[in-house]
Amino acid sequence: MKLNKEKVIIIIINLAIIGAIAGAAFSLLPSEIIFKNTFVESIKQHTVPNAFNDDITKFPDMQIGSGAEKDLADRSDPEVQKTVADYKKIPDYDSLSYLPGKPNSITDKISSHVIILVGLGFLYLFAIVFSAVFSGIIGSTLVALIASGLVYYFNQVKEIPVMMTQLKTAYVFTFVAAPEHIGSGVEALKVFAGRYCEIAVLAKSILTFDWQLKTGLFISIAVLASLLFDKRTGSYITQLEDKISEAMRYQAENNKMQTVMTDIKKIDDKLRLLSARLTSLQTLTRVISKSLDYNEVLKETLKVVQQVISAEKCSIWLLEENSDKLTLRESSGWKDEEKAAFNSSPAEDVGIVGEALRNGRVMVETEHRGFSNVAEGTAMPSKACAPLKLGDKKLGIISIEKFQDDGKAEQEELRMLELIATLAAVAIENSNLFKKTEMLANTDGLTKLYTRRYMESFFEAELEKSRRYNHPLSFIISDIDHFKSFNDTYGHQIGDFVLEETAKVLKTAVRNVDLAARYGGEEFVAVLPETDYKGAFTFAERLRKLIEGKVYEDQKSGQKLRVTVSIGVASYPLHSRDRMEIIKKADAALYIAKESGRNRVKVAPITKEQAAQLKQQP
């Protein structure tokens, strides 16, 4: 009978049934029938080398340990006692699940194992008959041969060696454990242990006969069942084959329909994706057009990159002004330790970062590194880089370190990345220009400190926070002593030099949350949030000593000069709750410092009521 596609499918189904039966055999037939494998290995160590490789019928004449096996029953012999003690050191000795004095327990276990093995083999008949019905003589014979081979494997190759090893172990173990349970002598032990040889020979014979019987039986049933069903059920099988063919045609048409539906769904998903990307770009455009906040622009850009490019891990690196070094400014998906290790990179990086900056276009790489860590010599891989540039001006790059699901960027996504980079570059440049303009408006040209106007707005904002959260706030005002005569003596250029250097000392002394400003002329001020009058006094005294100890050396003239300052301190809420009043009282304290001899710090005087309130404070 010619094999066709339907019959091949039937054969595959039969092979699956056979595989399931074989799997059941593996699960139902344990490899540790009586003893654990670790116990068997320990027993082997107390026998002569390669003893377990011999047939079990040779065991009565075998030497075990330091003497003949029958001598192990003689517990009066010191050598025997030592050997028995060695056996008892085996970890599994006290955890055996049967009584060694009752051989029937071992016989039952071996018998049950053989019965299960023989019974499982007969299940193959169902597969053979089923194959004969649907596949004819060729299919059923093939299944019969495969089933015979599996019976041979389980009987001869797998289970007989396992049972022989278990019975050999039981034989050796009898001479140690049995006397303690049955109190037998040497002759009784020999008869008792000899039963294991008989069980081994019987089990081996049964399994060998079972394999031979089933081989003939399987092939015979395959041939007879094929002839029988080919004559009586040929028409039914033909009809069934026609139905199967018709079902397969319907399945093929259904598959085509499913393919069309899948294509439609892909198109719909793509349209939805494009719509989502367009919405994200519109959001970015609105942010760029409305916001001049540098950090907001960077965060919104990375947010859009994640949505549009499907980036799981991305970052923005900007070129430092007047430098060829890239600095990490914003990241998403990065761990804290990665931010610490990869926070800067040379712009001429040999990876795709350098290529993107040099060529001015999006670069994609899957193997080469992206950023170099100069300090550690390690690398952060970059999958794609887009340069941030305006004309010939290079601002930095957008880097994608990892795509979602470890995927790759498609060409359309790379074009979107280039568009995002262009929009982001415009926004970053606008933000930079705004910051520079704002800095010029709020910074004193000579000292580079904040102006009086900016200080007053900052002071008012911090004062409002202090009122809301009930925090102290202090204000100090300093004046360079005898600065007018100093100017008259050394000239205005030296005077300007002293102002610049004094401003540098003040800028270095304040915290990040503080604000230092030039109040006018030679007067400098500082707003100290969350600082009471004691903390302000300590800061002012430290500042006074820094200025007093500084040597002002003019590089042009070579003159070395020293100056001192007088400082006044006032605090909220101790001296007043009003900004102008606090400034007025700090200025009064400065006047007192000058009148008291200059080069000193004075805190604004307080009234009796204020002193009483101060004593009540913890």
pLDDT digits (tens, 9 = 90+) for 213-245: 888 888 888 778 777 776 545 555 567 677 888
| Within this chain, domains 289-434 and 443-616 share the same CATH topology | no
Average pLDDT over residues 69-79: 50
User: Collapsing DSSP states into helix, strand and coil, what is residue 17?
Assistant: helix
Band (pLDDT 50/70/90 cuts) for residue 191 is low
- The CATH homologous superfamily to which domain 443-616 belongs is Reverse transcriptase/Diguanylate cyclase domain (3.30.70.270)
Residue 16 parent element (H or E): helix 5-28
Residue 480 parent element (H or E): strand 473-480
pLDDT score of 155 more than 70: yes
Amino acid identity for residue 295 in this structure: N
pLDDT score of 557 more than 50: yes
Average pLDDT over residues 411-424: 80
Q: What angle do CA 122, 128, 133 make, to 5 degrees?
A: 140
Highest mean pLDDT out of 158-172, 211-225, 572-586, 601-615: 572-586
Please enumerate in sequence order all residues whose Cβ is within 8 A of that of 428, keeping only pairs 6 or more positions apart, or say none.
294, 297, 298, 318, 388, 395, 396
Show the tokens assigned to 287: 């942010």
pLDDT score of 92 more than 90: no
Query: How high is the pLDDT of residue 617?
Result: 60
Region of poorest pLDDT, from 36-40, 259-263, 539-543:
36-40
Q: For residue 546, which phi and psi values (nearest 5 degrees)?
A: -60, -45
Condensed to tens digits (0 to 9), the pLDDT of residues 312-343 reads 888 888 887 777 778 888 888 888 877 777 77
Instruction: Name the residue with tokens 């992206």.
Output: 370
* Extents of the domains making up the chain: 5-232, 289-434, 443-616
pLDDT score of 599 more than 70: yes
pTM of the model: 0.42
Kindly state the percentage of the chain with pLDDT values over 90: 20
Query: How high is the pLDDT of residue 65?
Result: 45
- Among residues 246, 224, 220, the alpha carbon closest in space to that of 133 is found at 224
Average pLDDT over residues 549-575: 88
List 44's β-bridge partners, or say none. none
Average pLDDT over residues 552-567: 84
Task: Report how many helices (DSSP H) and strands (DSSP E) the chain contains, helices first.
Answer: 18, 17
Highest mean pLDDT out of 29-43, 62-76, 112-126, 560-574: 560-574
Average pLDDT over residues 19-38: 76
Average pLDDT over residues 517-528: 93
Alpha-carbon distance of 175 to 585, in angstroms, equals 107
Average pLDDT over residues 81-85: 57
Band (pLDDT 50/70/90 cuts) for residue 99 is very low
Across the chain, mean pLDDT equals 77
Average pLDDT over residues 403-420: 77
Query: How high is the pLDDT of residue 251?
Result: 87
Q: Is 222 in contact with 144 (CB distance < 8 Å)?
A: yes
Alpha-carbon distance of 33 to 63, in angstroms, equals 25
What 3 state SS string does 230-291 have? HHHCHHHHHHHHHHHHHHHHHHHHHHHHHHHHHHHHHHHHHHHHHHHHHHHHHHHHHHHHHC
Average pLDDT over residues 384-409: 81
Query: How high is the pLDDT of residue 308?
Result: 75
pLDDT score of 472 more than 80: yes
Query: How high is the pLDDT of residue 182?
Result: 45
Band (pLDDT 50/70/90 cuts) for residue 13 is confident
pLDDT score of 442 more than 70: yes
User: Collapsing DSSP states into helix, strand and coil, what is residue 313?
Assistant: strand
Query: How high is the pLDDT of residue 95?
Result: 41
Query: How high is the pLDDT of residue 347?
Result: 63
CATH, domain 289-434, list 3.40.47.10, 3.30.450.40, 3.30.365.10, 3.40.50.1100: 3.30.450.40
Q: Catalytic amino acids?
A: 522
